[in-house]
Chain A
Amino acid sequence: MKILTTVKRVVDVELNIHIENGAIVEDGLQYVINAWDENGVEAAVQLKENNNAQTTLVSIGEQDNTDMIRKCYAMGIEDAILIDDPALVAPDAFAYAGILQKVYEKGDYDLVITGKQAQDTDSGQTGIILAEYLQLPCVSNVISIEVMDEAHIRVSRLGDSGTEIVEITLPAVVTVSDSINEPRLPAMRGIMMAKKKKIQVMDLAALGTSVEAVGGAAPKSEVAEFMKSKTRQAGQKFEGDAAQITAQVVELLANEAKVF
Chain B
Amino acid sequence: MAKILVIADIKEGVLKGSTAELLSKAKALSAQTAVVAIGSNIESLIADMAAAGSDTQYIADDKSLELFSAGPYAACVVAAAQQFEADMIWFGFSEAGKAAAPRVAAQLNAACATEIIDVTLEGEQIQVIRPAIAGKVIQRIQVNTQTLVAVVRAGAFEATPGITGTQNMVKLSIPAPDLKAVIKQILSDASGEIDLADADIVVSVGRGARDQAGIDLVRELARDLSAGFGSSRAMVDGGFMAHNKQVGQTGKIVAPTLYMAIGISGAIQHLAGMTGSKTILAVNKDPEAPIFNVADYGIVGDLFEVIPILRQEIKKIRG
Interface residues of A (CB under 8 A from B): 11, 13-14, 17, 19, 24, 36, 92-94, 97, 116, 119-125, 128-129, 131-133, 136-141, 143, 154, 156-169, 172, 177-179, 218-232, 234-239, 242-243, 245-247, 249-254, 257, 259-260
**When chains A and B are docked, how far (Å) is the Cα of A5 from the Cα of B185?**
27
Beta-carbon contact of A122 and B111 below 8 Å: no
Interface string of B89-123 (1 = CB under 8 A from A): 00000111011011101110011111100000000
Asked if B95 and A232 make an inter-chain contact with CB atoms under 8 angstroms apart, the answer reads no
A140 to B98, CA, bound (A): 9
A165 vs B139: C-alpha distance when bound (angstroms): 35
Q: Which residues of B contact A238 (CB under 8 A)?
A: 297-300
For residue A177, give the distance in angstroms from its CB to the closest CB of chain B: 6
Q: A159-B96, A172-B180, A259-B201 are in contact. Are A247 and B294 (CB under 8 A)?
A: no
Q: SS class of chain A's interface: helix, strand, loop or mixed?
A: mixed
Q: Is B243 an interface residue (CB 8 A)?
A: yes
Assess the A222–B317 pair: CB atoms within 8 A.
no
- Asked, given contacts A167-B182, A250-B313, whether A13 binds B95 with beta carbons under 8 Å apart, the answer is no
Whether B166 is near chain A, meaning CB under 8 Å from some CB there, is: no
> How many A-B residue pairs lie within 8 Å, measured between CB atoms?
271
Contact in complex: B181, A168 (CB < 8 Å): yes
* Given A234-B292, A246-B299; A160-B309 close (CB under 8 Å): no
Of B11, B134, B136, B293, which contacts A234 at CB under 8 A? B293
Residue B318 interfacial (CB < 8 Å): yes
Interface presence of B29 (CB below 8 A): no
Interface string of B276-319 (1 = CB under 8 A from A): 00111100000100001111111111100110011001101110
Docked CA distance A24–B296 (Å): 29
Residues of A within 8 A of B2 (CB): none
A162:B187 contact, CB within 8 angstroms: yes
The 5 lowest CB-CB distance pairs between A and B, nearest first, are: A235-B296, A137-B180, A132-B106, A237-B298, A220-B111
Contact A224 B140 (CB under 8 A): yes
CB distance B68 to A164 under 8 Å?
Answer: yes
A-B residue pairs in contact (CB < 8 Å), sample of 18? A36-B250, A93-B102, A116-B250, A129-B105, A133-B106, A138-B103, A139-B70, A154-B184, A159-B96, A159-B186, A165-B185, A177-B250, A179-B237, A220-B110, A231-B294, A232-B293, A242-B302, A250-B313
Residue B170 is within 8 A (CB to CB) of chain A in the complex: no
Given contacts A123-B113, A236-B297, 7 further A-B contacts (CB under 8 A): A122-B115, A131-B103, A221-B112, A224-B141, A226-B140, A231-B294, A260-B317
Summarize B's interface: helix, strand, loop or mixed: mixed
Q: Given A140-B99, A143-B243, decide whether A169 and B258 contact each other with a Cβ distance below 8 A.
A: no
| Cα of A234 to Cα of B280 in the assembled complex, Å | 10
Q: Mark B245-258, 1 if CB is under 8 A from A, else 0.
A: 00001100000011
| Interface members, chain B 172-203 (any A CB < 8 Å) | 178-190, 201
* A260, B99: Cβ atoms closer than 8 Å: no
Pick from A13, A140, A179: contact of B243, CB below 8 A: A179
Question: Of A36, A92, A119, A124, which one neighbours B98 at CB under 8 angstroms?
Answer: A124
**A160 pairs with B298, CB closer than 8 A:** no
Q: How far is the CB of B96 from chain A (nearest CB, A)?
A: 6
> Which residue from chain A places its CB closest to the CB of B256 in the assembled complex?
A259
Q: Is the CB of A249 within 8 A of B189?
A: no
Residues of A within 8 A of B317 (CB): 250-251, 254, 260
Contacts of A235 in B (CB 8 A): 280, 295-298
Q: In the complex, what residues of B have CB within 8 A of residue A116's CB? A: 250
- Is B279's CB under 8 angstroms from A220's CB? no
Residues of B within 8 A of A260 (CB): 314, 317-318
B236 within 8 A of A: yes
Residues of B within 8 A of A166 (CB): 181-184
| Contact in complex: B137, A232 (CB < 8 Å) | no
Q: Which chain B residues lie closer than 8 Å to A36 at the CB level?
A: 250
CB pair B99–A141 under 8 Å, yes or no, is: yes
**Complex Cα distance A201/B132, Å?**
29
A232 and B275 within 8 A (CB): yes
Q: Which residues of B contact A239 (CB under 8 A)?
A: 287, 300-301
Query: Known interface pairs A93-B112, A124-B98, A137-B178. Does A13 touch B300 (Cβ–Cβ under 8 Å)?
Result: no
In whole Å, how far is A119's beta carbon from the nearest beta carbon of chain B?
Answer: 6
Q: Is the CB–CB distance between A246 and B306 below 8 Å?
A: yes
Is B155 close to A, CB under 8 A?
no
Q: Is the CB of A168 within 8 A of B95?
A: no
Check if B135 is an interface residue, CB within 8 A of chain A: yes
**A161–B85 Cα gap in the complex (Å)?**
31
User: Which chain B residues lie closer than 8 Å to A225 at the CB level?
Assistant: 139-140
Residue of B nearest to A182 (CB): B237
A129 CB, min distance to chain B CBs, angstroms: 5
Question: Hey, which chain B residues are within 8 Å of A139, CB to CB?
Answer: 70, 181
Taking CB atoms, residues of chain A closer than 8 Å to B127 are: 224
Residue B165, interface by CB 8 Å: no
Is the CB of B159 closer than 8 A to any CB of chain A?
no
